Structure 1
Amino acid sequence: MTTEDCRTDGGSEAGNASDFEEYADLGATTENAMAIAETSMDRVRDLVPDETVADRIRQKSVHATGDPEFQHLVRFTGETEAEPVVAGARAVLDEQPIVTDITMVKAGITGRGHDCPVQKAIGNGAELAKQTGTTRTAASVLELDKQGVYDGAIAVIGNAPTAALALADCIEDGTRPAVVVATPVGFVKAAESRTRLREVADSYGVPAITNVGRRGGSGLAAGLTNELVHVASDVRSGEVDLP
């Protein structure tokens, strides 16, 4: 494997590489924007190793946070560090759904380089939240899980620790996402929710990308998910071979 390394509204039908709008790193589309994006990532690569697909996730975490030390906070759940990246890229290539916890994360998912349907959990499960007193995001995850939405999907949580805890419960009960990207942020249950999600994912063989500590957030979750799309685009173009 070399380092050369889903659909939001308006995605095109899959078939071959020419059917897709080219993946635009960091959302850049103009010549000037692409030059800025390339310079930015070149500087990140001076700070983060560039040898494996897992390194690409570390690089994206540094770019998304502006913090070179964040590369040391990323965690990969699987038999190898590459496993969740490979699983995520395969899910993109298979046009599996990308399911985010909140609107902000959904808005950050690129519309280029994939034909995955993208949806948010928030807005579902209002009655369950009212009946049980749980948070809206947790209830939303549980409601979508009843519908089988998370099986085989790219499950992305960037904001709500209670959503991460709910997803961990779903995995314990038999749900099997293709990959989980979870970076909920905050001072209450954020770090604990990611720890639980890692432990459950590891126990049940679900590949996951998370981080340790209090930091995280929607922009980070979207950025890491977009890097899975980028890896998939490079596989499609023949620049990367997946094991």
Structure 2
Amino acid sequence: MTTEEGETTEEFAEYADLGATTGDAMAIAETSMDRVRELVPDETLGDRIRQKAVHATGDPEFQHLVRFAGADESAAVRAGARAVLDERPIVTDITMVKAGVTGRGHGCPVRKAIGNGADLAERTGMTRTAASVLELDRRDVYDDAVAVVGNAPTAALALADCIEDGTRPAVVVATPVGFVKAAKSRQRVREVAREYDVPAITTVGRRGGSGLAAGLTNELVHVASDARDGDLSVDPTGDHAVPREGGTDRS
């Protein structure tokens, strides 16, 4: 494909990924995160997720809406980072979330659930996203994966059912948005995650969405990158903020 100026789309392939790469862009991204860190504590790995939530939404109050399931508030972050380091699959509910997951700093295969399970949806009348999750779970896709739900409450509810039935993701990131079932679906994920000892990062209330889910997933990638560089530990007992000088681009 060629643009009207005659340049091929291949020349713009780098723009398909998210995150700052040029000097000016990285300066803007780091300045933005500096301002976030003025508003959000910067002491634990859990704080990094809160910071990313504020950065992704532009809302300082969002730090108070983040919830974790795990041995402590940073356990889910460590589990997610270890999954990234092990190059486990990242599985999103819809295309928009998949598009927002960075392609840099990891070797994880990234796939979406939507598009699977069409026969199940047609036969039962359930939503396409719920059917997609159930179909991928039937193929054991979610075991040891980073399971991400950013849009569809019914996908989160289906994933919770899968966990209750024995599926064990490495970590769940669930921020479905909306006025119908969104808050309930995240509460259900938290309850099931705690009952079955599955690490999870969720939010409370109606707000959330694909951009937030992708941003939180990307922060797991950034934590993994920092661990790979030796700047922090993601061992079960490790929990400290990463040094900022010369650290990973966290846009």
TM above 0.5, one fold?
yes
1:218: which partner in 2?
210
Name the aligned partner's letter for residue 197 of structure 1: V
Q: For the aligned residues, what is the CA RMSD?
A: 0.9
Tell me which residue corresponds to 2:225. Answer: 233
* 1:102 to partner: Cα distance: 0.1
Question: Structure 1: which amino acid aligns with 2:127?
Answer: T
Q: Distance in 1 between matches of 2:193 and 2:134?
A: 17
Code of the aligned partner of 2:212: L
Q: Secondary structure at the match of 1:239?
A: coil
**Cross-structure match for 1:143:** 135
Structure 1 position 193 matched with structure 2 position 188: no
Written as runs of structure 1 = structure 2, the 5 A alignment for 1:67-106 is 67-106=59-98
Structure 1 position 164 matched with structure 2 position 156: yes
TM-score, structure 1 as length reference: 0.89
The whole-number CA distance in structure 1 between the counterparts of 2:60 and 2:77 is 20
Residue identity in the other structure for 1:80: D
Matched, 1:45 2:37: yes
Match of 2:243 in 1: none
AA at the equivalent of 1:235 = A
Q: Deviations over 1:140-192 (max 9, x none)?
A: 00000000000000000000000000000000000000000000000000000
Any idea what SS the aligned residue of 1:27 has?
coil
SS of 1:99 mapped into structure 2 = strand
Per-residue displacement from partner, 1:207-235 (whole Å, max 9, x unpaired)? 00000000000000000000000000000
Q: Distance in 1 between matches of 2:95 and 2:43?
A: 33
Which of 187, 190, 199 matches 1:207? 199
- Supply the distance in 1 between the matched residues of 2:70 and 2:90 (Cα, whole angstroms): 20
Could you say which residue in structure 2 is the equivalent of 1:15?
none
Q: Which runs of 4+ in 1 moved over 2 A?
A: none
Residue by residue over 1:7-34, the C-alpha shift from the partner in whole angstroms, topping out at 9 and shown as x without a partner, is xxxxxxxxxxxxxxxxx9x600000100
Q: Give percent identity, aligned residues only.
A: 81
Q: How far did 1:128 drift?
A: 0.1
Q: TM-score, normalised by structure 2?
A: 0.86
Q: Secondary structure at the match of 2:41?
A: coil
What is the CA distance between 1:79 and its match in structure 2? 1.4
Q: CA deviation at 1:242?
A: 2.0
Equivalent in the alignment of 1:10:
none
CA-to-aligned-CA distance 1:88-143 (integer Å, 9 cap, x gap): 00000000000000000000000000000000000000000000000000000000
Alignment of 1:3-152 (within 5 A): 27-152=19-144
Q: Which runs of 5+ in 1 are unaligned?
A: 1-23
Number of residue equivalences: 219
CA–CA separation in structure 2 for the residues paired with 1:231 and 1:165: 28
One-letter amino acid of the counterpart of residue 203, structure 2 = N
Tell me the residue number matched to 1:19. none
Q: Offset at 1:241?
A: 1.4
Distance in 2 (alpha carbons) for counterparts of 1:173 and 1:62: 34
- Structure 2 regions of 5+ residues with no counterpart? 1-16, 236-251
User: Contact 2:79–2:234 at 8 Å: present in 1 too?
Assistant: no
